[in-house]
Amino acid sequence: MTAGLWEHWLLPGIWITVQLTLYSAVFATLVAFGVGIARTSRLWIVRFLTGFYVEVFRGTSALVLMFWLFFVMPLGFEFQLVPMWAAVLALGLTYGAYGSEIVRGALAAVAPAQREAAIALSFSPAQRMRRVVLPQAIPEMIPPFNNLLIELLKATALVSAVSVADITFAAQLSRLATGESLEIYSIILVLYFVLAFLLTRAMRLLERKAKANIGQAPPPGNGLLAKLTKGPAKTAANRSGTSRPADALAPGGAK
């Protein structure tokens, strides 16, 4: 591979993929929270409409929806979405439907006693949601949202079908220009893995911060490296600690 391919195709493709992931994730998050909270409404019509939305967009293909927004919608309206925003809209609506179920499940998992305590304090429904329910539900949402975000990242490869020059589109053009299929697609696999790994680390940091806000932060030194470094010292301490009681229990032993 030449430096020109990196400079003119792959690096811009990576940037387009990052932009697509961020824009789609923000839109999907807004949809997920709006629909997920609305699905807990006492009004049956609100629950019905939001449930209908979830079933429709979970049951349709994101790629076909992208085609519909880009190719079909202009036939009945006076405007056409640019490929980038057609892709963001399709991915956001699709993954927002999945995310709304995560939000609804996390809200339902909050103990009823917490809501009852908020009612006893004369909190309004909005105050109960903002100050009591959401702070406890958000830490439970983050791990499944992490999986959904990685799925969204991988789904951005679909946007090359509507001529968005993402990393997959750039890889295809680079392959046609050089014929180096093995090298190019291997690099693309590694790049997707690196992006997914960075997203996972960021979401784990966010999870720790969310848990710390409600007093659920893990104790310090709980990582794998800390366990490996503290393991021999603890083992030696345990050995020395177990020998003393045995000496004390022996006849004539020290007391």
The whole-angstrom separation of Cα 29 and Cα 38 is: 14
Q: Are the CB atoms for 206 and 142 separated by under 8 Å? A: yes
Q: Are the CB atoms for 3 and 10 separated by under 8 Å? A: no
Report the 10 Å Cβ neighbour count for 198: 12
The whole-angstrom separation of Cα 175 and Cα 109 is: 49
pLDDT at 77 over 50: yes
Helical ranges in 77-180 per DSSP H: 83-109, 112-120, 125-128, 134-155, 167-178
Burial class (CB in 10 A: 0-12, 13-18, 19+), 222: exposed
Two tokens, residue 237? 């301490």
pLDDT at 234 over 70: no
User: What's the pLDDT tens digit per position in 41-53?
Assistant: 999 999 999 999 9
Give the pLDDT score at 216: 74
Burial class (CB in 10 A: 0-12, 13-18, 19+), 175: middle
Backbone angles phi, psi at 246, to 5 degrees: -65, -40
Give the pLDDT score at 152: 96
Give the pLDDT score at 4: 65
Domains in the chain: boundaries: 3-218, 222-255
DSSP state string for 218-250: PPTT-SHHHHHHHHHHHHHHHHHHHHHHHHHHS
Q: Which fold has domain 3-218?
A: MetI-like fold (1.10.3720)
Q: Residue 20's closest CA among 245, 195, 252, 174?
A: 195
Q: Are the CB atoms for 193 and 49 separated by under 8 Å? A: no
Q: What is the pTM of this model?
A: 0.80
Give first-to-last CA distance, the chain, whole Å.
76
The whole-angstrom separation of Cα 153 and Cα 195 is: 8
Give the confidence band of 3 by pLDDT, cuts at 50, 70, 90.
Answer: low
Residue 9 per-residue DSSP state: I
pLDDT at 235 over 50: no
Give the confidence band of 243 by pLDDT, cuts at 50, 70, 90.
Answer: very low
* Cα-based distances in Å from 175 to 4, 145, 170, 185, 252: 13, 34, 9, 8, 83
The whole-angstrom separation of Cα 223 and Cα 24 is: 32
The whole-angstrom separation of Cα 216 and Cα 219 is: 9
Q: State the residue for tokens 């009945």.
A: 76
